[in-house]
Structure 1
Amino acid sequence: MGVPDFDPRAALDALAAEYSQRAEAIRRDLGQIHSPDFAEQAQQRQNDDVLRALLAEAEAGMRQVGLARLRLADGTYGECARCGEPIESRRLRALPAAEHCLRCADLQH
């Protein structure tokens, strides 16, 4: 792994906090009461659909962080889950929860 000046635990904690705050704010927004005006209510319901999609993304991010924490605990953090090669340090800095090296990530898309 050997990423100089990179603390994966701190990076994952910061990422988890960011996802958690985002999810909390979205849940708060989704809990608001809709306007009695029909046209405005239709727009608010469309906005709710977008918020639900954003909430799903935040929750997926929290799951990815949880999986990365498990890899950290079992000593496999920084190893590609597909090929077993080390994940590039720049990739881990940008995406602390990354489970694949860049080459394998490209193969999935």
Structure 2
Amino acid sequence: MTTFDPQTVLDSLEAEYAARATAIRRDLTASHSADSAEQAGERQNDEVLQALLVEAEQGQAQAAQAKLRLSGGSYGLCQRCGVAIAPARLQALPTAAFCLGCADLAE
């Protein structure tokens, strides 16, 4: 059984999201076809890529925020109620800022 190392996991997540965002930005700057029918499909693809870019940027920001909490000593504590976040939740969602109860309230 491996030990959960939040710093390593968060560093990896942040790098993964950054690489994903870079690749998506590169794809978005690719030129489009001169054919109008193909352009319509490419524009739809661009919309999907834009949504994926937003997700990647949000993931990168969440990882960075979690790293700040880790360095500040508040990682693993719910940002709403202050209760310790379950270790299983942190392993499944290393960027979790809320305990399960508070996360349910936020939704």
TM class, shorter-length = over 0.9
Q: How large is the Cα RMSD of the aligned pairs?
A: 1.0
Q: Matched residues in 1 for 2:61 and 2:12: separation?
A: 14
Structure 1 stretches lacking a partner, 5+ long: none
Correspondence for 2:64 among 66, 73, 82: 66
Correspondence for 2:23 among 22, 25, 28: 25
Correspondence for 1:41 among 24, 34, 39: 39
Correspondence for 2:103 among 80, 99, 105: 105
Q: Could you say which residue in structure 2 is the equivalent of 1:57?
A: 55
Q: Matched residues in 1 for 2:89 and 2:13: separation?
A: 15
The 3-state SS of whatever aligns with 2:79 is: coil
Give the number of aligned pairs: 106
Structure 2 stretches lacking a partner, 5+ long: none
Amino acid at match of 1:32: A
Q: Over residues 61-82 of structure 1, what are the superposed CA-to-partner deviations in whole Å (9 max), with x where a residue is unaligned? A: 1111111111011100000001
Amino acid at match of 2:3: D
Moved over 3 A (4+): none
Q: Over residues 32-86 of structure 1, what are the superposed CA-to-partner deviations in whole Å (9 max), with x where a residue is unaligned? A: 1000000100110111011011101100111111111110111000000011000
Q: Percent same amino acid at aligned positions?
A: 58
Q: Matched residues in 1 for 2:39 and 2:56: separation?
A: 25
Q: Matched residues in 1 for 2:37 and 2:92: separation?
A: 42
What are the equivalent positions in structure 2 for 1:60-99 lying under 5 Å apart?
A: 60-99=58-97
Return the TM-score normalized by structure 2.
Answer: 0.95
Q: Could you say which residue in structure 1 is the equivalent of 2:5?
A: 7
